[in-house]
Structure 1
Amino acid sequence: MTAETSRPLLSVERLSIEFGEKRVVSDLSFALHSGKTLCITGESGSGKSLTSLAIMGLLPKTARLPSGAIMFDGKDLLRLPERQMQHLRGQAIGMIFQEPMTSLNPLMTVGQQLEETVRRHEPLSRRESKQRARAMLDAVRVPNVDKRLGQYPHELSGGMRQRVMIAMAMLCQPRVLIADEPTTALDVTIQAQILELMRELQQAFGTTLLMITHDMGVVAEMADEVVVMNQGLLEERAPVRTLFKTPQAAYTKKLLAAVPVLGTMGKPVSKTKEPVVLEVKDLKVHFPLRGGWFEEARAIHAVENVSFTLRQGETLGIVGESGCGKSTTGKALMNMLPYEGSIKLLGRELNGLKGEALKPLRQDIQMIFQDPYASLNPRKTILDLVGEPLLIHGMKNLKLRTERVVELLEQVGLSAEAMERYSHMFSGGQRQRICIARALALNPKVIIADESVSALDVSVQAQVLELLERLQKEYQLSYVFISHDMAVVERLCHRVAVMFSGQIVEIGQRDQVLGNPQHPYTQRLLSAVPMPDVDRRKDFKSLLRDIEVPDPVKPRNYQIPRQAYKAIGIDHFVAV
């Protein structure tokens, strides 16, 4: 290999970033070689995203760079004036940001934003820029391109917005593409589609890829080389195979050990002899739509004829992509929205109960929400937040309430000192523990957990899952665990229900559904899961073909035909 071919396209040399007295990135060095993929991984607060912003010259003004250089084409990007950086951004170095909805202008159509990007860097006519925008949307496999060009970002799904972001970043065919957590908020099949698109674009345009992710499955699928960061420090840098087979740093070993791996859990303990605590039959949830004077009354048929049982000490996982109805099902179980059908909790019918009649039953069923920060009132202390259910249900004595809160916090691994603090003073994992403590306050029999670990780092996620397992054993709790992470579902659940377009298409024991999937949709979901194993890389090309999803908007009184099921084995049913 000659010196010319081995020279890196972009190199970060002894980079340090500070905010005031706090150093958030320290003495970081790595090199990016032409046509390769480098993944930077690590947990929240490790400095991954700040490093990418430093490369793009987009660090906040409060940031200070006491040392280091970022070399690209013989120039130090940290020393370039803003005008030259503006020329480089998009044309030579493109970036896909983590949250496409906040990165796209809500007041401009997709077409206008793409054309603006092209004309900023190249002297093209309006007609030529439209052709370029259309061609790039075709390249990222956006269907109905002409329609999409005239739509606004809020009219697109999350996966479609991310495709638009990739198209925008690739418009000027940059030599380096930085992708900051490009798949974090996406469903597993959409994630697989985005990863496959990035592979295709890399091959078609010879793009060099710098990917930032905390998902070790994505790292194993995409990386040629890996940089592991922890609290601003470089823990390890190695080729991807070396890192997964023989990790050297203790932190890397800990990170890999915490990753749940699909297909490693075996057969779950059967709970068929335990008493039924929750029985759901023919559950329907419809959301009426407002129409014109002469229009037929319509509704979104979000959940249709869902039936299942949950036994004492059992965890039922509900999986599926966004919009399948799983979170709506969870909210219906909590009586948080109107529904049709029967929900029996410990043999008592919940449908039709309101106010004081419903209040006593609330003690037996509680919910842990997806976003712990949004579900905790920032104006209240932890004592008030965790003690609130106790106060609502009659525990007026502050001393007794405080004692119970201390007990609950200790159960979830927090100290009594946490009581006097506010939610913003805790990490994401600690906030989720507080939410679990609050859900446990009234000694419930059933807990609905809606994506309760999806926003957590892998090691914190492992700790919270261990906590949920321990609490289940101690108190014989029953969980309805709603998630799109199949590996987490396999670890925690005894049985799994797969939802598609508002209906259950497959339900059975965990090893039956995940180990021997029968429905094509279940098979598609499982084929999209990236494995944290370099020897099991997947070809996601077949997933680029979108499956047809029935339109959930129907006439208000429309009766969707009842789903028929075929028994595959004991307690394993598949829609036919």
Structure 2
Amino acid sequence: MSLPDNSRASRVLSVERLSIDISHEHETQRVVDDLSFQLHAGQTLCIAGESGSGKSLSSLAIMGLLPKVARLPSGAILYQDRDLTELSDRQMSRLRGRDIAMIFQEPMTSLNPLMSVGQQLEETIRRHKLDEGSGAKRRAWEILDAVRVPHVEKRLKQYPHELSGGMRQRVMIAMAMVCRPKVLIADEPTTALDVTIQAQILELMRELQQAFDTALLMITHDMGVVAEMADDVVVMNQGVVEEQASARELFLQPKSPYTRKLLAAVPRLGAAVTLPSRAQAARVLEVSDLRVRFPIRRQSPFAPATEVCAVEGVSFELGAGETLGLVGESGCGKSTTGKALMNMLTYSGSVKLDGRELSGLQGKALKAVRRDIQMIFQDPFSALNPRKTVGELIAEPLLVHGLANAAQRRQRVEELLLQVDLPAAAALRYPHQFSGGQRQRICIARALALEPRVIIADEPVSALDVSVQAQVLELMKSLQDRMGLSYLFISHDMAVVEQVCHRVAVMYCGQIVEIGSCQQVLHNPQHAYTQRLLSAVPMPDIDHKRDFKALLQVDEVPDPIKPRGHRLPDIHYAEPQAGHFVALSSA
């Protein structure tokens, strides 16, 4: 949805030779050095780079929201020829939101959990004196409707925790656009979202940009999003601009070695080498008719008892040394399935590990089984106790199971750190002293401590930069080759799944609708949902863009809330072709 060329004539924002310093006690570090760019009405400029490149700090500097430890030793930020660096806090607060708005990466931490969506929108409207009373309520309704939030009246009364990730991001966009700002800064607005939700959010931003002629500054490390959205691109690396060019020039003729490395690290669907089949391997994990339901509290004593049918009739097998990818959108039940296999949730059905039934195990029996099945979580920071050293965290499973004395634990920790390519000295440091990729390596080391047979990896690389992501995936593959590990790899990134998985199972509304080898499922999908999921995969290719309009035309998802005790019809599969199962219908 490109705008006419004359829209570029109006320069809205100009950053000129901006530098940012961060002070740590008696030491000062330059984190952004000599950054310059211009942003025009109706234009999309993407600042791309990995974590620590300074791209998010640059956006915070424009908003006047830098932390107290940061200062601007040089440079100017010109908005309509006013230097924002010279404005007082009061002057900036008048501009912030009304003229320059920002969408943050994690909407849950940006929205007030104690206020309803309607209250937060109305507060923004009143603060900028756009309207009062019923007029503010009407404006709140109109902007939510404009960002395609369904059932607006209901959503206005809900709180952030009651909304999905995609819906919360729509609310954030509504709050940013309610004042019709001249500049919209979007800091990683789609990083944690599934590909189809991501497509909807990007299309929404493009429509609003066209409607209001807004200048869009997008911060991202996803080169697929850059190819989709950008008119021009600034590539940053460790605070320095590596390259600045139009999107077409950058993708077709990148000049900087760093840019070429960044583009090469992006996983591309269809580029991975097909992994050899493990069909003949012994079965390690056998799951049959797995069902997970969550009861819903009644609104009144006379209301019917209902429950959420999160997982319904899921069955699959996992072989020794095999990786099975479990893919689907948020809410499809894939993470719930992983937690059920760990006995972290109550479920019905059968789960067998090396022939041992896990269902109903408690106490010492469950503890003994946990030695053979471990889990790696999506967010390594929240999975690690910040008050313990890395050595204590990795040794904890050994201590809990009473498998080694103090000296043996120290030796085992050192071995595990070396296995995940971290120095032995890392044992004495704390989680916050490591990068995201290093923290995920620590989580992998802890999962390996008991030498498990199966590891459930729940979105283990979704929050990592592409180059760090590639390193962690390579580590997981090498550990599998050396130790014969079996992985259940939960993900919504099809290109990543193709790299590491032998087989793929596609989940939709709590059921597996297609399962087979990577080649069968990803390159010859038979189920309509799998085909739609694959069509939504972003490509770091300037000449290959997704059909957003088609992706927005979605059939209504079946309601997972059913009467308590209701049994959904069993799913039936077509006659399998060489191990390729495709559902004939789904609930």
Q: Distance in 2 between matches of 1:289 and 1:156?
A: 16
- What SS does the corresponding residue of 2:562 show, helix, strand or coil? strand
Amino acid at match of 2:92: M
Q: What residue in structure 2 maps to residue 11 of structure 1?
A: 14
- In structure 2, the CA distance between the partners of 1:488 and 1:3, relative to structure 1 (3 Å rule), is closer
Of 94, 106, 113, 2:113 maps to 106
The answer (yes or no) to whether the contact 2:7–2:43 under 8 Å persists in 1 is no
- What SS does the corresponding residue of 2:36 show, helix, strand or coil? strand
Q: What residue in structure 2 maps to residue 62 of structure 1?
A: 69
> Offset of 1:263 from its aligned partner?
1.8
Give yes or no for the alignment of 1:317 onto 2:325.
yes
Q: What residue in structure 1 maps to residue 240 of structure 2?
A: 233
Q: Distance in 2 between matches of 1:440 and 1:464?
A: 14
Give yes or no for the alignment of 1:544 onto 2:552.
yes
Q: TM-score by structure 2 length?
A: 0.94
Give yes or no for the alignment of 1:389 onto 2:397.
yes
Q: Distance in 1 between matches of 2:165 and 2:391?
A: 37
User: Counterparts of 1:100-179 in structure 2 under 5 Å?
Assistant: 100-179=107-186
Q: What residue in structure 1 maps to residue 99 of structure 2?
A: 92
Question: Could you tell which deviates more after superposition, 395-404 or 301-310?
Answer: 395-404
Q: Distance in 2 between matches of 1:544 and 1:555?
A: 30
Q: Distance in 1 between matches of 2:367 and 2:65?
A: 51
Q: Distance in 1 between matches of 2:550 and 2:453?
A: 43
Q: What residue in structure 1 maps to residue 348 of structure 2?
A: 340
> Offset of 1:122 from its aligned partner?
4.3
Return structure 1 stretches of 4+ with deviation > 4 angstroms: 1-7, 292-295
| Aligned-pair Cα RMSD in Å | 2.0
Q: What residue in structure 1 maps to residue 527 of structure 2?
A: 519
Listed one character per residue, the Cα deviations across residues 135-179 of structure 1 (whole Å, up to 9, x for unaligned) are: 322221111222222333222222112112112211222221111
User: Counterparts of 1:280-429 in structure 2 under 5 Å?
Assistant: 280-291=287-298, 293-429=301-437
Q: Distance in 1 between matches of 2:6 and 2:492?
A: 46
Q: What residue in structure 1 maps to residue 470 of structure 2?
A: 462
Amino acid at match of 1:355: G
- What SS does the corresponding residue of 1:374 show, helix, strand or coil? helix
Number of equivalent positions: 576
Listed one character per residue, the Cα deviations across residues 253-276 of structure 1 (whole Å, up to 9, x for unaligned) are: 221111101122253311111111
User: Counterparts of 1:235-250 in structure 2 under 5 Å?
Assistant: 235-250=242-257
Q: Distance in 1 between matches of 2:87 and 2:358?
A: 65
The answer (yes or no) to whether the contact 1:92–1:175 under 8 Å persists in 2 is yes
Of 209, 213, 228, 2:216 maps to 209
Q: Distance in 2 between matches of 1:514 and 1:104?
A: 37
- In structure 2, the CA distance between the partners of 1:417 and 1:209, relative to structure 1 (3 Å rule), is same
- What SS does the corresponding residue of 1:566 show, helix, strand or coil? coil
Segments of structure 2 that go 5 or more residues without pairing to the other structure are none
Amino acid at match of 2:517: Q
The answer (yes or no) to whether the contact 2:7–2:40 under 8 Å persists in 1 is no
Question: Could you tell which deviates more after superposition, 177-186 or 358-367?
Answer: 358-367
Segments of structure 1 that go 5 or more residues without pairing to the other structure are none
User: Counterparts of 1:31-70 in structure 2 under 5 Å?
Assistant: 31-70=38-77
Q: TM-score by structure 1 length?
A: 0.96
Question: Could you tell which deviates more after superposition, 149-158 or 239-248?
Answer: 149-158
Q: Distance in 2 between matches of 1:458 and 1:213?
A: 11
The answer (yes or no) to whether the contact 2:290–2:350 under 8 Å persists in 1 is yes
Q: Distance in 2 between matches of 1:2 and 1:189?
A: 30
Q: What residue in structure 2 maps to residue 82 of structure 1?
A: 89
> Offset of 1:3 from its aligned partner?
12
> Offset of 1:247 from its aligned partner?
1.5
- What SS does the corresponding residue of 1:46 show, helix, strand or coil? coil
Q: Distance in 1 between matches of 2:291 and 2:501?
A: 24
Of 553, 558, 580, 1:572 maps to 580
Q: Distance in 2 between matches of 1:2 and 1:169?
A: 25
Q: What residue in structure 1 maps to residue 201 of structure 2?
A: 194
- In structure 2, the CA distance between the partners of 1:397 and 1:140, relative to structure 1 (3 Å rule), is same
The answer (yes or no) to whether the contact 2:262–2:467 under 8 Å persists in 1 is yes
> Offset of 1:481 from its aligned partner?
0.2
Question: Could you tell which deviates more after superposition, 69-78 or 5-14?
Answer: 5-14
Q: What residue in structure 2 maps to residue 529 of structure 1?
A: 537
Q: What residue in structure 2 maps to residue 438 of structure 1?
A: 446
Give yes or no for the alignment of 1:257 onto 2:264.
yes
- In structure 2, the CA distance between the partners of 1:335 and 1:155, relative to structure 1 (3 Å rule), is closer
Give yes or no for the alignment of 1:30 onto 2:37.
yes
- In structure 2, the CA distance between the partners of 1:166 and 1:293, relative to structure 1 (3 Å rule), is closer
